[in-house]
């Protein structure tokens, strides 16, 4: 099973999108949208240098406060999937990978 999350919009040029993206907060965090297998949508402010594993832990702490948490399996049963900046669906199996 996969959690889906939405990456920031793609940039057509080669510039560092994090340097020019206005969604970056002053503390270096970015809003990331998560869609859980239960259909629940959660938006979290995530440090831009965070690993997938760290983000997964952040999300898991939050899902305890949402309806239907009891329907979810163990955290290790899930991996993230996203639509990347080139509009390609991607499963993020390497949890040591960073957002940036």
pLDDT band at 6; cut points 50, 70, 90:
low
What's the token pair of residue 56?
């997964």
Task: Supply the pLDDT for residue 14.
Answer: 47
Q: Name the domain count of the chain.
A: 1
20 occurs within a structural domain: no
C-alpha to C-alpha distance for 15 and 58, rounded to whole angstroms: 29
84 occurs within a structural domain: yes
- Domain containing 39: what range? 2-8+27-92
0.75 exceeded by pTM: no
Range 19-34 burial, b when 16+ CB lie within 10 A, else e: eeeeebeeeebbebeb
| CA distances, 35 to each of 38, 55, 58, 61 (Å) | 8, 14, 14, 15
Task: Supply the pLDDT for residue 24.
Answer: 63
Provide the CATH number for the domain around residue 54: 3.10.20.90
C-alpha to C-alpha distance for 39 and 94, rounded to whole angstroms: 24
């Amino acid at each position: 099973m996969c959690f889906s999350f939405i990456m920031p919009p793609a940039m057509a040029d080669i510039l560092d999108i994090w340097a020019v993206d206005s969604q970056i907060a002053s503390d270096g965090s970015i809003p990331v949208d998560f869609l859980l297998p239960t259909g629940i949508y959660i938006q979290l402010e995530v440090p831009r240098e965070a690993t997938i594993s760290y983000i997964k832990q952040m999300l898991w702490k939050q899902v305890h406060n949402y309806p239907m948490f009891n329907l979810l399996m163990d955290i290790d049963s899930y991996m993230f999937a996203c639509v990347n900046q080139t509009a390609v669906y991607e499963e993020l199996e390497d949890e040591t990978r960073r957002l940036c």
